[in-house]
């Protein structure tokens, strides 16, 4: 329903943003809950093998970016995270009619908020999931967390949605 000045009503704006926010909240809660458990347990006992030779939980404090790069740049990444969150909301407003865009942005937003909370509260991001790439005998993927997974899944979905929409646009031309 539109109001007289042709802007969406507050209820419509909330309805538009809800899928993205619900997914983001689920990611943040799962991320922070698992990190709280890991900080409480793994700091003391070390590594837990979840699936022998394939997945383990191992406590790690990351003050940098993905794969442990850019160590001790926490304040820079707080700013980058905040800018990314602003862009997520801007991007959402441009593509709010596309449910898959909302879902992908929800994953990215949840991941960004989860890691931002760690950076602000602790000065580092808690990572704990280690996966061995079975096709490379002794290679373990760098340690990550639920928030990182949310960002990754959301980014992959975003690329697929953008390519799909681009392809559909070319078919219509």
Positions marked catalytic: 127, 148
Rounded CA-CA distance 43/41 in Å is 6
CA dihedral of residues 25, 26, 31, 33 (deg, nearest 10): 100
CB atoms < 10 A from the CB of 105, how many?
28
Could you give the 3-state DSSP secondary structure of residue 96?
coil
Q: In sequence order, what E strands does the chain have?
A: 48-51, 55-62, 125-131
Contact status, residue 107 vs residue 157, Cβ threshold 8 Å: yes
């Amino acid at each position: 329903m539109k109001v007289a000045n042709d802007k969406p009503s507050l209820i419509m704006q909330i309805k538009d943003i809800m899928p993205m926010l619900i997914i983001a909240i689920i990611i943040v809660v799962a991320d922070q809950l698992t990190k709280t458990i890991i900080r409480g347990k793994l700091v003391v006992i070390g590594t837990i093998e979840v699936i022998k030779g394939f997945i383990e939980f191992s406590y790690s404090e990351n003050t940098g970016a993905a794969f442990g790069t850019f160590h001790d740049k926490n304040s820079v990444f707080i700013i980058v995270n905040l800018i990314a969150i602003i862009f997520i909301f801007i991007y959402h407003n441009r593509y709010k009619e596309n449910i898959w865009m909302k879902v992908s942005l929800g994953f990215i937003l949840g991941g960004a908020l989860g890691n931002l909370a760690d950076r602000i509260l602790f000065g580092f991001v808690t990572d704990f999931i280690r996966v061995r790439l079975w096709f490379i005998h002794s290679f373990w993927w760098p340690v990550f967390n639920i928030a990182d997974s949310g960002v990754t899944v959301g980014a992959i979905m975003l690329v697929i949605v953008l390519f799909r929409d681009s392809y559909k646009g070319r078919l219509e031309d």
